[in-house]
């Protein structure tokens, strides 16, 4: 069972979330915050670079092939990056409007997503990151969240449904009948990369 045991730090601002899962809140020490942000940022960059490389290869063969990269390779590549990072670090991409049910957010990921959504709805710049301290089976983990925006390349598979290649529409419907990740516009808030870091992985 997971329990949120601390406050949230977002781009230098301390935010105390309301959570029915805990009654305890505490500030993440600045020295730990710095390490968490460094590890989280590095892991996120590594994952996105890996996924982008495969996606570009797929797009060269057509949008339908790009969907195959996301449906067949994305989770596998994420696990590969996790293995390379080692130290028990885990990575996940998630969104309130997810395509693959395996990427659905848990309650703490949803909290982070809703935090960024609030800035999006108010048309304010998104904070650079969001942090949580979570306890799982008696062990402490720090979660780093990096917000993602929709880039032009994303619109091929996540843009307006009516603008998509008919074959692509058919493929998406077959793979993801409950697909929520469509009708985005460039610059929209898409979701987050979540990096979970065990406390003992910090120096």
Q: Does residue 25 surpass a pLDDT of 50? A: no
Q: Which pTM value belongs to this model?
A: 0.84
Report the C-alpha gap between 84 and 65 in whole angstroms.
26
| Other CB atoms within 10 Å distance of the CB of residue 187 | 11
Whole-number pLDDT of residue 26? 52
**Share of residues in the chain with pLDDT > 70 (%):** 87
Q: Which of 26-35, 123-132, 163-172, 173-182 has the highest mean pLDDT?
A: 123-132
Whole-number pLDDT of residue 111? 96
Whole-number pLDDT of residue 17? 37
Strand-pair partners of 147 = 192
Using pLDDT thresholds of 50, 70 and 90, give the confidence band for residue 54. confident
Using pLDDT thresholds of 50, 70 and 90, give the confidence band for residue 15. very low
Q: Does residue 24 surpass a pLDDT of 60? A: no
Tens digit of each residue's pLDDT (9 = 90 or more) over 64-107: 777 877 777 888 999 999 999 989 999 999 999 999 999 999 99
Q: Collect all residues with Cβ–Cβ distance below 8 Å to 201 and sequence separation of at least 6.
A: 39, 87, 88, 89
Q: What ranges in the chain are assigned the alpha helix state H?
A: 30-60, 63-68, 74-85, 107-121, 155-158, 166-175
Using pLDDT thresholds of 50, 70 and 90, give the confidence band for residue 108. very high
Contact 197, 144 (CB under 8 A): yes
Q: How far apart are the first and last CA of the chain?
A: 26
């Amino acid at each position: 069972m997971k329990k949120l045991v601390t406050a949230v730090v977002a781009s230098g601002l301390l935010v105390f979330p309301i959570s029915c899962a805990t009654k305890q809140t505490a500030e993440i020490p600045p020295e730990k915050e710095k390490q968490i942000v460094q590890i989280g940022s590095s892991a996120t960059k590594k994952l996105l670079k890996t996924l982008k490389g495969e996606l570009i290869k797929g797009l060269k063969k057509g949008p339908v092939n790009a969907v195959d990269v996301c449906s067949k390779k994305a989770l596998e590549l994420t696990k590969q990056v996790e293995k390379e990072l080692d130290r028990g670090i885990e990575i996940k991409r998630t969104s309130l409007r997810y395509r693959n049910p395996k990427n659905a957010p848990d309650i703490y990921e949803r909290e982070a997503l809703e935090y960024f959504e609030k800035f999006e709805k108010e048309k304010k710049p998104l904070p650079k990151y969001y942090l949580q301290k979570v306890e799982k089976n008696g062990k402490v983990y720090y979660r780093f969240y990096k917000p993602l925006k929709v880039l032009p390349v994303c619109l091929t598979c996540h843009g307006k449904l009516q603008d998509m290649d008919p074959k692509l529409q058919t493929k998406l419907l077959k793979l993801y009948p409950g697909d929520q990740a469509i009708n985005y516009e460039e610059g929209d808030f898409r979701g987050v990369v979540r990096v979970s870091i065990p406390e003992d992985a910090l120096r």
